[in-house]
Chain A
Amino acid sequence: MSYRRRASPLHAARAAVGCAYCLSLLVAALVLSAPVALGAVLAAIAGAAVGAKVGREVRRAALFAIPLGLAVMAINALVVRDGLTVIMRLGDLPVFGQTDITLEATVSGAVLGARAVALILCGALYTAAVDPDQVLGLFRRFSFHSALTATLATRMVPVLSRDARRLAEAQRCRPGPPPSRARLVRAATAGVLDRALDVAAALEVRGYGAARRAPRGGAPPWSRHDLAFSASAVAIAVLAVGGRVAGLLPFSSDPALHAPVRAGGLAVAAGLLVCALLPFADRRGIGR
């Protein structure tokens, strides 16, 4: 919901390319487990957010994601009994029983948490930097009506949240004790139904009922940013999958922690970071 067209290379790329770029970062976060690699992915997402001028939106998502990641780490450390290196003995705890915190469970929890953070931040980057109307336009080729229904659902969110703010404001203007929540929900529901009818009528007169599929072709030419982010997406995916398949970034936490940092692994992590951020260096033709 937070998409705003900004003068950034990522916003200047077409939606399909923006999707591919975010998806490649997502794939990297999913297939790589080595802390150094995950760190590089997180740094790449943060750098991309700054480069795309959506740092504030991604930071807002981080305020939710980081506590979640820490919670995942803590729960994993408490629940998982694997690992040989005990770093804390908590004794007999209710629910958990005999509890020993191991280094391996803590680190594997941290990896899971970092991965969760990366996934959420990737989602935030996508939401803030990829035009949802264009994305739905891509899906229209497969199912026009479903895509439009999804568009409407997306559109109704800000409309209804504005309605809710208005309703709350009006209720503050009522003298006396505030009405019950149930009564407010009923009033809001009635308002939503009215809204839905109005929007349905508007759609009818825009020709939605007789919607036809557009002929293929006529897509705009590929811009330098389309090419750069496409290449970046492919490079990130190849580095992540290739690094994993080639065993350049080994990581295991059972029975003992094994996460050696080798030159190959460092090269993959650095490569990920460079490939993710390089397209932002070219700032020609980003305004509209």
Chain B
Amino acid sequence: MSVLALDRVTYTYPGAVTPALSDVTLDVAPGELIVLAGGSGSGKSTLLRAANGLVPHFHGGRFAGRAVVAGMDTREHGPGELAAAVGTLFQDPETQVVMGTVRAELSLPLENRGEAAPAVARGVEEVALALGIAPLLDRPTDELSGGELQRVALGAALVGRPQLIVLDEPTSQLDPVAGDELIAVLRRLGEDFDTAIVLAEHRLERCLPFADRAIAMRSGRVVCDGPPAEFLAWACAEAPELATPGARLLFGLGLSPAAGVKAARSALRSRGLSVGAQGPSPGEPRRPAGEAIRFDRVWHELDRGPAILRGVSLSLGAGERVALMGRNGAGKSTLLRHAAGLLRPTRGKVQSAGRVALLLQNPTDYLIHDRVEQEASVGALATVGLGDPALRGRHPRDLSGGEKQRLALAIVLDGAAGESQEAVVVCLDEPTRGMDRRRKDELAALLCELDGAVLVATHDPEFAAAFAQRVILLADGAVIADGTPSEVLAGGTYFATETARILGGVGGALRPEEGIALLTAGSEVPA
């Protein structure tokens, strides 16, 4: 018997003309881990919301077809009743944690079900141990980091032992290490408790190796449903934006795409395409003409707290594009705030050759006007690709996520009124959160076109490889690596692209195209 069965489900949001889900039919068996792929607006989130009953009970709209979750028809049972069978984890942990302490947060779903105090205590204890959050139980939720909050939210989704868990981009705010840990926990849940998992993600390379099935969606329809290898073969042929870097590498070499580093290496070896163990070749260091910004032994020490930055010294050349990477809490955002003058160093100094523009994590915070054209000048809008007059008349909050991001970038790039003061450094803090690959590629292209130096804090090695000329790795407030993308991203495990991991860092190849060129060059390929 399936845990989730959708039978010809079609759903249209209130006020919308086109349906968000069109004639969707699928079954999810107990213990299955299913990855839901698709671009922004393809219907992934709506499908998850149809599974937990928010569609149609919370959002309203027109619903046709039948969705049955653990034997309950979602038309007859609301999200409150379905919560006993379905656990849900959304993208933003901040808005799904509602209680003051972790213990209270984990207790809430069980208390809602009317469980007695001993059963609540036991459930909380078990889920805390399973997720490794027992030390957090008495911590206030507003003190937790993003990764910790996401784990707590996952705990709240799991505490009632649901048969099905639906997750909407749960790793988008996590660093690679925390993201991998979360995926591993999900895999274990399926194996240990037979919990079915439906996971919507953009960074497919992270979760496809652990998946039983992958479902691709486009315009609200299921366009592919099969095992990961089958899905990747389809993606390489039909939807390249959904193909993982490893799949693109294999496909480019004429091999059948495989999910995961291990399978890809095996495929390469089977064709005699394995490369020898060789460290990354150092790239040619770029010598920028002038200096755009300099951090001189910058410390940021919290009053009665730890030091967030510990004597950071570095400089960016004019027009240089730099990716700043590191775990959550490594000090990336703090460094960007120092660059823009939002914070002052407790020791050391920051000197820039002119204005520093900073785009923080949430672009919506920048939007305060009623029309797009009021937010930034025509020139700045054109620079970020929002020059369309029809777009300029729209309300900023009605724009898509990617358009909001670009509008916020236009706002910070725009010179002060009447001064046309161009930014010499543009800093962006995690600009790719929740972005699909097409939008990431567009952003990378846009950053490459900017005149000023670019400093981007990101967790996404693929994005860093796409735009950066230099990568700086921070750990515990100090610079631990600073070099060309090939030097920094080819040799690591977590902060490495999938291509680099498959090739073991050989030749410093980071992107599939570079890997294909390396493997087909002949010299390093033992045929």
A residues with a Cβ closer than 8 A to B are: 3-5, 131-134, 137, 140, 151-152, 154-155, 158-159, 162, 166-167, 169-177, 179, 183-184, 186-187, 190-191, 194-195, 198-215, 217-220, 288
Which 3 residue pairs spanning A and B have beta carbons closest together? A209-B80, A210-B80, A212-B114
CB contacts (< 8 Å) of B98 on chain A: these are 151-152, 155, 199, 202-203, 206
**Contacting residues of chain B (328-387) with chain A, CB-CB under 8 angstroms:** 337, 340, 342, 355, 357-360, 362, 364-369
B80 touches A211 (CB 8 A): yes
B182 adjacent to chain A (CB < 8 Å): no
Whether A218 contacts B117 by the Cβ 8 Å rule is: yes
Assess whether B407 is interfacial by the CB under 8 Å rule: no
Q: Which of B54, B104, B364, B415 contacts A204 (CB 8 A)?
A: B54
B94 pairs with A159, CB closer than 8 A:
yes
User: Are the CB atoms of B54 and A212 closer together than 8 Å?
Assistant: no
CB neighbours of A131 from chain B (8 A) = 100-101
1/0 per residue B103-142: CB within 8 Å of A? Answer: 1100011011111111010000000000000000011111
Cβ-defined partner of A206 (8 Å) among B109, B115, B362, B369 = B109
Q: Is B523 an interface residue (CB 8 A)?
A: no
Within 8 Å by CB of B108, from A186, A206, A288, lies: A206
User: Is A206 a contact partner of B156 (Cβ separation < 8 A)?
Assistant: yes
Give complex CA distance A209, B108 in Å.
12
**Bound Cα distance from A208 to B114, whole angstroms:** 11
Q: Is B4 an interface residue (CB 8 A)?
A: no
Bound form: Cα–Cα A269–B77 in Å: 61
- Whether the pair B342, A184 counts as a contact (CB closer than 8 A) is no
Closest partner residue, chain B, to A163 (CB atom) = B365
In whole angstroms, what is the CA distance A209 to B112 when docked? 8
**Contacts A133-B104, A186-B368, A211-B80 given: A173-B114 contact, CB under 8 Å?**
no
Check B417 against A173 for contact (C-beta < 8 Å).
Answer: no
- B191 at the A/B interface (Cβ < 8 Å)? no
CB distance from A54 to the nearest CB of B (A): 14
A140 to B196, CA, bound (A): 33
Known contacts A170-B360, A210-B80: A205-B367 contact under CB 8 Å: no
Do A173 and B83 touch (CB < 8 A)?
no
> Can you pick out 28 interface pairs between chain A and chain B where the beta carbons lie within 8 Å of each other?
A3-B100, A5-B138, A5-B140, A134-B104, A154-B100, A155-B98, A162-B142, A169-B337, A169-B360, A169-B365, A173-B358, A174-B412, A175-B421, A176-B414, A186-B368, A191-B364, A198-B92, A202-B96, A203-B98, A206-B83, A207-B81, A207-B160, A209-B81, A210-B112, A215-B114, A217-B116, A218-B116, A218-B117
Contacts of B116 in A (CB 8 A): 214-215, 217-218
A78–chain B nearest beta-carbon distance, Å: 40
Quote the shortest CB–CB distance from B320 to chain A (angstroms).
21
Cβ–Cβ < 8 Å partners of B81 in chain A: 207, 209-210
The residue on A at minimum CB distance from B356 is A173
* A206 x B112 contact (CB < 8 A): yes
Closest to A211 in B: B112
Q: Of residues 32 to 55 in B, which have CB atoms within 8 Å of A's CB atoms?
A: 52-54
Contact flag A133-B417 (CB < 8 Å), given A169-B360, A174-B412: no
Which residue of B has the minimal Cβ distance to A204?
B79
**Any chain A CB within 8 A of the CB of B84?**
yes
Closest Cβ–Cβ distance, residue A132 to chain B (whole Å): 6
Taken together as a complex, chains A and B put the C-alpha atoms of A154 and B117 apart, in Å, by 23
Instruction: Provide the residues of chain A in CB contact with B416, threshold 8 Å.
Output: 175-176
Quote the shortest CB–CB distance from B44 to chain A (angstroms).
Answer: 16
Looking across the interface, which residue of chain A has its beta carbon closest to that of B117? A218
A65 and B342 CA atoms in complex are apart in Å by 33
List the A side residues contacting B111 at CB < 8 Å.
137, 140, 211, 214
Q: Which residues of A contact B80 (CB under 8 A)?
A: 204, 207-211
Chain B residue with Cβ nearest A177: B417
Tell whether, in the assembled complex, residue B368 and residue A183 are in contact, meaning their CB atoms are under 8 Å apart: yes
**Main SS of the interface on chain A?**
helix
Partner of A199, one of B95, B115, B414: B95
Does B184 sit at the interface, judged by CB under 8 A? no
A13: min CB distance to chain B, Å: 14
Q: Is the CB of B369 within 8 A of A183?
A: yes
Complex contact B112–A173 (CB within 8 A): no
Residues on A with beta carbons closer than 8 Å to the beta carbon of B358: 173
A288 B138 Cβ-Cβ under 8 A: yes
Q: How far is the CB of B232 from chain A (nearest CB, A)?
A: 31
In the complex, what's the smallest C-beta–C-beta distance from A165 to chain B, in angstroms? 10
> How many Å from the CB of A181 to the closest CB on chain B?
11
Nearest residue, chain A, Cβ from B367 = A187
B117:A214 contact, CB within 8 angstroms: yes
**Chain A min CB distance to B101 (Å):** 6
Instruction: Say which residue of A202, A204, A213 sits within 8 Å of B95 (CB atoms).
Output: A202
Residue of A nearest to B99 (CB): A133
B residues within 8 A CB of A211? 80, 111-112, 114
Other-chain residue from B54, B101, B337 in contact with A205 (beta carbon distance below 8 A): B54
Contacts of B96 in A (CB 8 A): 198-199, 202
Residue in A5, A162, A172 whose CB lies within 8 Å of B101: A5
- Contact residues in A for B359 (Cβ distance below 8 Å): 173
| Cα–Cα distance between A217 and B121 once the two chains are bound (Å) | 13
Task: Report how far A190 CA is from B366 CA in the complex, Å.
Answer: 12
Given contacts A205-B54, A207-B112, A211-B80, 11 further A-B contacts (CB under 8 A): A3-B100, A5-B138, A137-B111, A173-B412, A174-B412, A202-B97, A204-B53, A205-B83, A207-B84, A207-B113, A214-B111
Q: A131-B101, A152-B98, A177-B417 are in contact. Are A214 and B115 (CB under 8 A)?
A: yes
Q: Is B30 an interface residue (CB 8 A)?
A: no
User: How distant is the Cα of A109 from the Cα of B84 in the complex, in angstroms?
Assistant: 59
Decide yes or no whether B252 CB sits under 8 A from chain A. no
| B 47-85 contacts with A by CB, 8 A | 52-54, 57-58, 78-81, 83-84
**B88 at the binding interface (Cβ < 8 Å):** yes
CB < 8 Å neighbour of A3 from B57, B58, B88, B140:
B140
Contacts of B355 in A (CB 8 A): 175
B101:A209 contact, CB within 8 angstroms: no
Expressed in whole angstroms, the Cα–Cα distance for A191 and B142 within the complex equals: 19
Closest to A151 in B: B99
With a CB–CB cut-off of 8 A, which chain A residues contact B295? Answer: none
**What's the Cα separation between A250 and B140 when bound, in Å?**
45
Q: Which residue of B lies closest to A183 (CB)?
A: B368
Instruction: With a 10 A CB-CB cut-off, give which of B90, B98, B141 has the most chain A CB atoms.
Output: B98
Chain B neighbourhood of A219, CB < 8 A? 117
Cα separation A207 to B365 with both chains bound (whole Å) = 31
The verdict on B411 contacting chain A, using a C-beta distance below 8 Å, is yes
* Given A133-B100, A175-B355, A207-B112: A4 in contact with B79 (beta carbons within 8 A): no
Q: Which of B476-515 contact A (CB under 8 A)?
A: none
Partner pick for B79 among A5, A154, A195, A205, CB 8 A cutoff: A205
Contact call A173/B342, Cβ cutoff below 8 A? yes
Given contacts A159-B94, A206-B156, contact A173 B340 (CB under 8 A): yes
Residues of B within 8 A of A166 (CB): 360, 362, 365
Chain B: minimal CB distance from A232 (Å): 24
Residues A167 and B369 in contact, CB atoms below 8 Å apart: no
**Interface: B154 (CB within 8 A):** no
